[in-house]
Structure 1
Amino acid sequence: MLDAAFMCRWMTATADAVDRDEARLTDLDSAIGDADHGANLRRGFTAVAAALGKEPPGTPGAVLALAGRQLISTVGGASGPLYGTLLRRMGKELGDADEVTREQLARALGAGVAAVGLLGGAAAGDKTMLDALLPAVDALGESFGAAADAAGAGAAATVPLRARKGRASYLGERSVGHQDPGAASAALLIGALVEAAA
């Protein structure tokens, strides 16, 4: 069973991963975006970790809802609202339960990903964070490791795609051959589940 402490570890592990990979995320974004994805996400998840360190909520859902609110209020560009929506919707889905199963977390992730798709008008194959998140939803029922592998493979698979949503879509064919930075950061988020569970 997964409790509030697990969710706090997940968010802290994500903050550490984004911190480590900030330069790579920025490099990816400089090729097809604004070159600010790494810095923006680092600011957001640093704020999340700080807020959770001050006053950690008592339930898994409340932890994710707080993280989502922090991201929306501290991250500029599209990634704040998108990641904020993902985590807030997950928190809402988990409700007030003191502990949840991995299967319940997978269902909550599915609900969060659906909300992100609605917000951004994106679908699988559009070269967005969804290309990493959608495979992770299916694999999370199996294990955290399977979800991390699926998200990583999904992010890598964005390289040959032409962007159909987001800023990269303005580049048309020039977006081909670059990994989507949102998919790369989404893979970090899912990969951090393995660390939280260790």
Structure 2
Amino acid sequence: MTTHEFALRLQHACASVMAAEQELTEIDSKFGDADHGLTMTKIAKAISAAVEASDGGIQTMLDDAAMAVMSLNGGSAVPLWNTWLDGMQEAAPEGDTVDIAGIQAIFAGGFAEIDDMSGAKVGDKTMMDALIPASGAIAAYTGSDEQALFTAAAQAAAKGAENTRQFVSKFGRAKSYGEKTIGTPDAGAVSMAYFFQGLAQA
């Protein structure tokens, strides 16, 4: 996969998140601050613009995206997404191409960083409910087709996000609502699933 091809996937991912702004706001309005849709649109726009403007290799592109998110204000999602992207760029190659093993290393690096920061596990009803299975699907992929890799990740993320309907919120403002949160998916998991859905678009 070339830097350009990776950039296109990232831009599709950002467009997927931005298109879901109203849905994310509606979900977050039930037990949160009703700002997740707006925050994720800001993050997605920042990533998309940084990727488009970047003129280096894969590592430079991901570093530019991480820096763009770091400069944003508002929302607990900002530092989490910055950490994820920063972990990715640390594991990324400096050149203009990356193979399957390299893609796996990039996403493993991103996951390791955010996992260390977040501490949330599957069942805690956070963005990690989508990211953990998606990262696992990427790590477990044994083929040679990046499209199949991203499709598997998107499917795992979507299933993880849907599963959050069954859980009680254990983080953030929603935590205070306890079992009332059962039946509503986690906005952070849903936005992460949309991001992976976009990544699966070549």
Using the size of structure 2 for normalisation, the TM-score is: 0.88
Q: How far has the Cα of 1:8 moved from its partner?
A: 1.5
How much identity, in percent, do the aligned residues show?
Answer: 34
CA RMSD of aligned residues (A): 1.6
Give yes or no for the alignment of 1:86 onto 2:84. yes
> Hey, what does 1:66 align to over in structure 2?
64
> Which residues of structure 1 form unaligned runs of 5+?
none
Residue 35 of structure 1 deviates from its aligned partner by 0.6
Change (3 A) 1:50 1:42: same
Residue-pair matches, total: 194
- Could you tell me which amino acid in structure 2 is paired with residue 129 of structure 1? M
- Quote how far apart the aligned CAs of 1:62 are: 1.7
Q: Distance in 1 between matches of 2:181 and 2:91?
A: 35
Q: Which amino acid aligns with 1:161?
A: F
Shift of residue 7, structure 1, vs aligned partner: 2.5
SS across alignment from 2:42: helix
How far apart, CA to CA, are the structure 1 residues paired with 2:65 and 2:111? 16
- Residue number in structure 2 paired with 1:127: 125
Matches within 5 A, 1:33-182: 33-53=32-52, 55-140=53-138, 141=141, 143-182=149-188
Higher mean alpha-carbon deviation, 145-154 vs 66-75, is at 66-75
Deviations for 1:73-127, whole angstroms, at most 9, x for unmatched residues? 1251111111111111101111424311233222321221222122122122211
Tell whether 2:187 aligns with 1:188.
Answer: no
Change (3 A) 1:167 1:107: farther
Instruction: List alignment gaps of at least 5 residues for structure 2.
Output: 143-148
Residue 146 of structure 2 corresponds to none
What is the alpha-carbon distance in structure 2 between the residues aligned to residue 103 and residue 32 of structure 1?
40
- Kindly indicate whether residue 13 of structure 2 is the aligned counterpart of residue 7 of structure 1: no
Any idea what SS the aligned residue of 1:157 has? Answer: helix
Moved over 3 A (4+): none
Contact 2:43 / 2:78 at 8 angstroms: preserved in 1? yes
TM-score of the pair, normalised by structure 1: 0.90
User: SS at 1:126's partner residue?
Assistant: coil
Q: Is the 8 A contact 1:107 1:137 kept in 2?
A: no
Contact preservation (8 Å) 1:162, 1:172 = yes
Within 2, Cα distance between the matches of 1:62 and 1:158? 34
| Partner SS for 2:91 | helix
* Cα separation, partners in 2 of 1:102 and 1:28, compared to 1, 3 Å: farther
